[in-house]
């Protein structure tokens, strides 16, 4: 089963609010077994336009695990803090497994 990745772009309006969100969201990520692969305040845009001041990439064991984390009561308590502190875009993408690998 391929891994899944949650990619979030954030246009931060309230840095203190985002710090509070980070403290609140951390335990839910640990509980879900997720790994934070990147939290970049200045991604290098190669083509087109990119949203936000920061891009975060999270790794999960599966799409189901990513969905379960996002819908969990633990993350449900943290999510409004992010939504109040930043304009965010978020997606779940399925990891690619090379055919024959």
Q: Is 101 contained in some domain? A: no
Give the CATH number for residue 33: 3.30.70.100
Mean pLDDT of the chain: 95
Q: Is 88 contained in some domain? A: yes
| pLDDT tens track for 43-54 | 899 999 999 989
Using a cut of 0.85, tell me whether the model's pTM lies above it: yes
Q: How many domains does the chain have?
A: 1
Q: Is 100 contained in some domain? A: no
Report in angstroms the alpha-carbon separations of 66 from 18, 21, 92: 21, 18, 7
Q: Is 77 contained in some domain? A: yes
Alpha helices in the chain (DSSP H): 15-32, 63-71, 73-85
Report in angstroms the alpha-carbon separations of 93 from 4, 6, 10, 82: 6, 6, 17, 21
pLDDT at residue 101 in the model: 66
Q: Is 99 contained in some domain? A: no
Residues of the domain holding 15: 4-94
User: Among candidates 7, 16, 4, which has minimal Cα distance to 52?
Assistant: 7
For the ranges 4-13, 45-54, 79-88, which has the lowest average pLDDT?
45-54
pLDDT at residue 39 in the model: 94
Q: Is 81 contained in some domain? A: yes
Confidence of residue 97 (pLDDT cuts 50, 70, 90): confident
């Amino acid at each position: 089963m391929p891994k899944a990745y949650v990619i979030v772009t954030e246009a931060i309006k309230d840095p203190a609010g985002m710090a509070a969100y980070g403290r609140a969201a951390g335990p839910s990520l640990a509980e879900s077994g997720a790994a934070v692969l990147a939290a970049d305040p200045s991604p290098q845009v190669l083509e087109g336009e990119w949203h936000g001041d920061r891009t975060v990439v999270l790794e999960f064991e599966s799409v189901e695990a990513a969905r379960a984390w996002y819908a969990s009561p633990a993350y449900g308590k943290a999510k409004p803090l992010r939504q109040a502190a930043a304009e965010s875009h978020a997606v779940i993408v399925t990891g690619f497994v090379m055919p024959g690998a």
